[in-house]
Chain A
């Protein structure tokens, strides 16, 4: 069968990817710059699925909690201030071992900030964000096609590990239109979930909860979570590497920043400069493998639309073996090709 190609925005691609993955429950609250996503879900959610415009972000995330507990593939989307409001619910989802997909199309902060693209929720996304010892799997698409593909992956990972998965993009990715090749295969509907709430006919009652009062019970549970996270760290690192075999300067950037970095690299490469790229696709777990380079003369340049958030993970991955430089802007500023090239020329 010929795969269909359509021109859509990143926000719409995420929504279409979710529907393709068998998402049958969406709840969200309007916020810029992700409004095309909620509108797409409202328009295209199939009849037997559920779309709810919630009264708030806390309500939206707790609806997702309920739908996930009921066994549905469920999703919400928002942008930075709204995601902050959802943190309690995300912590409960992690603590109750529920699979769910949460989309954050980031905007400038702190506070109400602005609606310009930003990457300044990196810490919040990769460190858990709410209370307690937990993680989300965090995936950062770099193109509209990848936004579509990774959304489908997100639902599979959420179900496989029973964890919340976050898709972290920025306003540019959300708004940008690109051709997307749609998947031909129809994803199978919700797989059977033995723990889900369906009524206890023919079995003992199921309970979905994150409360462990008995002495030692919470620690026991948290160790189980940590074991799961360890497995995810081992199996689910994702990244793209460019020219890593000969690069003297390696740019490290994700999402929209990586697209700008790629243009810089092709310019500099055609001028004979040995520049490469590591583009983390999974921000948690943060890819360790590509940073395992022996040559001590390599230099890294971390570029972000934030002030040194991913930089910390790069430092941990590089572990002092090589020099790390940083270029970042935030609050509406996007590091330009020129700024990157100037910085690289200084380092080289």
Chain B
């Protein structure tokens, strides 16, 4: 059992995390953050394995990983 927490206000919407999640659990949001950007959203129901690939590639240190 694992999960990630994304700092959505700090996210700049580069979506590199979306590209590198092996489970495809991160998606582009439909809502905007206070920067006016779509941000990365985590789907907690899909079986996150806590591999932290998303956090490793995030240029803005927006992702915390729990396992």
Chain A in direct contact with chain B (Cβ < 8 angstroms): no
